[in-house]
């Protein structure tokens, strides 16, 4: 990936996510600055298919991706992909899931927003697999808008048992009240995977949500301030210090999703002052977000982390696939 200094707002390539052997293109997700290809896991080898999923292995990681055209209902597509994920990851632990939801803020069948339809399909799939206690199995995740024609889901699972972490500044997403949809979002705020050369830490998509309420609707500056405070809260909870291991030896990858492409220079300048450094790998993307009033969302993936003890790990046991 290129560094922030080498980026250009003029770029409009679609994001591609490399799983070690080829790259999955994410339709509708335009790269505003940074690399057009995200590479997190290094060399991988093909590991077959499971339903709509193409699988690969990279060391202790099992990786998979599926894109399902929107020819049937979004809820059914979400359930189909997640059912396949659970089958493919039998004996492993889910660590991170990226969801790219078509027309995420538009109204779907029954007058329900597409994101909420997707959340219902995902939640029901988790419940089918893990039963009533499925919240203990929820890994870090994000869900942003993709192109209008297909749902894309990418996952990473590990043979090593992870630790899922919640943010003391936010209500756990899986406990959101019914005003946010018939089924709450199914993810943890962060997931920590141990490793001999250091831990891997996945920070879920983080935005201006305090408790469960949206902060400063459509105000970019105030939302970015709140997002950075939230990132500090989950960083501390994970044992990363207040700035996401900024001065540690880990490799840090950031994806910054912006509802309005024109906001990228301002956001990049502020993040250069408060969060990112020259060695970070940062990509800025134009995307619709899971709530229509949100302007910015930031996720992070850190590799080779030397952790202090996490302070707010989820107390329930992690469930294996």
Q: How far apart are CA 122 and CA 49, in angstroms?
A: 20
Q: pLDDT value at position 24?
A: 83
Q: How far apart are CA 164 and CA 139, in angstroms?
A: 6
pLDDT < 50 positions in the chain: 1-11, 311-317
Q: pLDDT value at position 310?
A: 52
Q: pLDDT value at position 318?
A: 67
Catalytic site positions: 297
Q: pLDDT value at position 281?
A: 97
Classify 268 as helix, strand or coil: helix
Q: pLDDT value at position 122?
A: 98
DSSP state letters, 12-29? -PEEEEE-SSSEEEEEEE
Q: pLDDT value at position 12?
A: 63
- What are the residues whose beta carbons fall under 8 Å from the beta carbon of 87, sequence distance 6 or more? 50, 51
Q: pLDDT value at position 287?
A: 97
Q: Where are the alpha helices (DSSP H) in 25-162?
A: 74-88, 114-130
Q: Where are the alpha helices (DSSP H) in the chain?
A: 74-88, 114-130, 220-238, 264-274
Domains, the chain, in order of start with CATH, read 4-305 (3.30.1330.40)
Structure tokens at 321: 């696939």
- Cβ–Cβ < 8 Å for 257, 249: no
């Amino acid at each position: 990936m290129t560094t922030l200094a080498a980026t250009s707002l003029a770029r409009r390539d679609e994001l591609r996510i490399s799983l070690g052997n080829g790259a999955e293109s994410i339709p509708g997700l335009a790269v505003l600055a940074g690399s057009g290809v995200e590479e997190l896991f290094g060399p991988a080898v093909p590991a077959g298919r499971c339903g709509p999923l193409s699988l690969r292995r990279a060391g202790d990681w099992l990786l998979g991706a599926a894109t399902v055209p929107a020819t049937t209902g979004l809820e059914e597509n979400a359930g189909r992909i997640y059912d396949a994920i659970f089958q493919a990851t039998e004996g492993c632990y889910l660590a991170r899931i990226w969801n790219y939801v078509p027309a995420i803020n538009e109204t779907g069948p029954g007058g329900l927003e597409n994101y909420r339809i997707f959340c219902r399909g995902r939640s029901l799939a988790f419940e089918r697999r893990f039963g009533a206690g499925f919240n203990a199995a929820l890994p870090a995740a994000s869900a942003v808008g993709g192109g209008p024609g297909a749902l894309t889901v990418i996952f990473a699972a590990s043979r090593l048992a992870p630790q899922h972490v919640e943010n003391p500044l936010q209500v756990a997403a899986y406990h959101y009240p019914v005003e946010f949809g018939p089924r709450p979002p199914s993810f943890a705020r962060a997931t920590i995977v141990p490793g001999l050369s250091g831990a891997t830490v996945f920070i879920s998509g983080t935005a201006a949500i305090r408790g469960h309420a949206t902060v400063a609707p459509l105000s970019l500056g105030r939302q970015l301030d709140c997002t950075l405070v939230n990132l500090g809260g989950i960083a501390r909870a994970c044992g990363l210090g207040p700035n996401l291991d900024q001065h540690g030896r880990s490799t840090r990858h950031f994806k910054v999703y912006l509802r309005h492409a024109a906001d990228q220079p301002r956001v990049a300048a502020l993040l250069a002052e408060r969060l990112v450094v020259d060695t970070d790998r940062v990509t800025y993307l134009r995307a619709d977000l899971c709530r229509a009033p949100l302007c910015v969302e930031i996720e992070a993936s850190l590799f080779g982390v030397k952790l202090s003890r996490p302070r707010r790990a989820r107390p329930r046991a992690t469930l294996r696939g």
